Amino acid sequence: MSIDMTVHAVAPQPDAEAELDRRAAFCREIARSAGAVALDGFRNRTPGFGMKGPQDFLTETDAAVERHLKARIAEAFPEDGFLGEETGGAVKSDVWVVDPIDGTANFARDIPHFCISIAFVRNGEIEIGAIYNPALDEFYFARRGEGATRDGKPISVSKTSDFDAACVEFGWSNRKTNKRYLEVLSNILERGANVRRGASGALGLAYVADGRSDAYAELHMHAWDCLAGLLLVKEAGGVVAPFLSLDGLTKGGAVLAAAPGVAQGISEATGISLEGAR
């Protein structure tokens, strides 16, 4: 996988809002069509899987879903950039950022907790995000400034403020040491929160937006894992860490998303700053 880090200029659109409307409708469509490809692969897969690295799983369906999305985007918006987990791509002013299957370890082991994650970024802002779990037929969608939904119904983050009642998902990354991971895990537990790990960061973020979890944190994530989820959380009333402003699109970085009542405490426990923090 390679990433062209050159940012290519895109000519201004005559009606930028109408163009975003078109991309939003298109995003909904391709998330579901990609979900159909993923679900067929999940139901009819051959036992076994490949490995890209330690605890980094790969299935034939990952590649099939990314091919589908890349081809559809290139056909509909040939001027846009594409950045995918499996094939990399070019970062442009308008770019689609795609994880064909987030939660591949679950997918490979017959656990229906995986999703397609798609984000559209324009000039450094996440404008559109979709996360779709085809196994449960749950569809999360957000448009910047227009709120977040699950299956078309508005969602919002939880009102939890007491850590003794908080449920936090803390993702593991092989890009950080186990020692640091365990330190942060201990910090969260000491505050009284319950900690779990579902092995799909994108769904973990969607669950914060939906009030199913009170916070999600991970010490390092790639853009394709988290951009759609970060938009969902912000549009659902949550608080997030800066990501794109810290060059997360090309380098990845730490991710934190939380309900406002626990955000500061989780930030202190993880050492991950929040947007707007000094």
Q: How far apart are CA 133 and CA 96, in angstroms?
A: 19
Instruction: Please say whether the beta carbons of 61 and 114 come within 8 A.
Output: no
How is residue 209 written in tokens? Answer: 């937006």
Q: Rounded distance, CA 232 to CA 149, Å?
A: 8
pLDDT at 57 over 70: no
Q: For residue 59, what are the contacts with CB-CB under 8 A and spacing of at least 6? A: 41, 45, 49, 50, 101, 104, 107, 108
Query: In one letter, which amino acid is 273?
Result: S
CB neighbour list of residue 244: distance below 8 Å, 6 or more residues apart? 121, 124, 125, 126, 223, 227
Instruction: Give me the pLDDT at residue 2, please.
Output: 52
- Burial classification of residue 201, based on how many CB atoms lie within 10 Å of its CB (0-12 exposed, 13-18 middle, 19 or more buried): buried
Task: Determine the average pLDDT of the residues in 130-159.
Answer: 98
For residues 148 and 62, give the distance between their C-alpha atoms in angstroms, rounded to a whole number: 26
239 vs 233: CA distance, rounded Å: 7
Identify the pLDDT of residue 157: 98
In whole angstroms, give the CA distance from residue 232 to residue 235: 5
Q: What is the arithmetic mean of pLDDT over 155-176?
A: 96
Neighbours of 175 (CB within 10 A): 11
pLDDT per residue as tens digits for the range 63-117: 999 999 999 999 999 999 999 998 889 899 999 999 999 999 899 889 999 999 9
Question: Is it the case that residue 120 has pLDDT exceeding 50?
Answer: yes
* Residues near 71 by beta carbon (within 8 Å), at least 6 away in sequence: none
Global confidence as pTM: 0.91
Would the pLDDT of 8 be above 70?
A: no
